[in-house]
Structure 1
Amino acid sequence: MLNIQPSPDLPRFAFGEYDEVIMEGISYRAIDCSDAGYVFARTDGTGVAESFAHAVLSQRVTRGMLVHRRDAFLPESAKRRLRAPAQVLSTLTPKQQQKAKYHESLVRAFLEMETEGKVKRTETSVNSALHEIKFRAGKYLSVPSEGDVIETGGNKMIVPTKISASRLLKRVAAFS
């Protein structure tokens, strides 16, 4: 979640040294900050640096066009991603694919709301937002995919029912 420092003019964001910022599908790392804004370097190895005014960053956050992955470049995060079991989704059974889609939809819904500032990574916050998280997850689940076990389409919307705040927070931590 983004840390916003209150300001009478514009929100100020606090991007850490090891944070990843994704805008328009491009991964960046903050390399400098001033009163005017941030300078980001692309993480694709091209050496390209771009500057963004605080107002532009604020607009992108408001529109959901900025993803902030805190500590994504920390060595511990990289090690955790290596330890996590990784399989090609197509090698899973249809039932396993549906389960992965179910959990991913909940995590994506949470991250979307976190970006909007509507939920925090605490059980209390998740419990109070769980109804909306489930509803948003239903939007992701209702998009048909090849491995679906459950028929979707038409005016049907599949809304997750079995999830607790603590379990969701564990899945979010594993996803990040």
Structure 2
Amino acid sequence: MLSFKEIISVTLILFSVIDVVGSLPVIIDLRKKVGQIESEQATIVSGVLMVSFLFVGERILSLFGVDVSSFAVAGALIIFLLGLEMILGRTIFKSEVETGGAAHIVPIAFPLIAGAGTLTTIISLRAEYQTINILIGILINLILIYAVLKSSAWLGRRIGPGGLDVLRKVFGIILLAIAIKLLKSNLIADF
């Protein structure tokens, strides 16, 4: 049953967990490294991951013998490395242009947008909210994600190189803190 209140709640919860605005320095940094990010593909892949996890997330993880906590720890390690890369100004992840890969898939679609925090949140939302309202909340977030990804070059020019450097360092520290929080809460959950 459609509920405006549930849709707003789900949208706000997912928006704060995804934190696409907070990921802007990472996105701009990747755009600078690889040239162009396919906003449409990143949004579609993120959406497919989120919707898939809504319906079969726990079963997919259990198929591989992985629990939600272990999945969150793996995502936290990737986020930790991204944070280190931003703070230290060193390249840890090999450029996707050199490897022939797609920068819009890793690390943008996963783990920045549809990361362990987002996917585990979606699994937990199923316990409180109707599936249709979660789907609408995911769709609203995908529209916002697309808008931020599409305008990241413009935002990068408006902020400027100095501002981007400051943002990169600040959000690098925030990413490290998020990674450590995920590690702490999920490692403690196993004991």
Q: TM-score w.r.t. structure 2 length?
A: 0.29
**TM-score with structure 1 length normalisation?**
0.31
Higher relative contact order (CA 8 A, sep 6+): 2
Report the structure, 1 or 2, having the larger helix content: 2
Bigger CA radius of gyration: 1
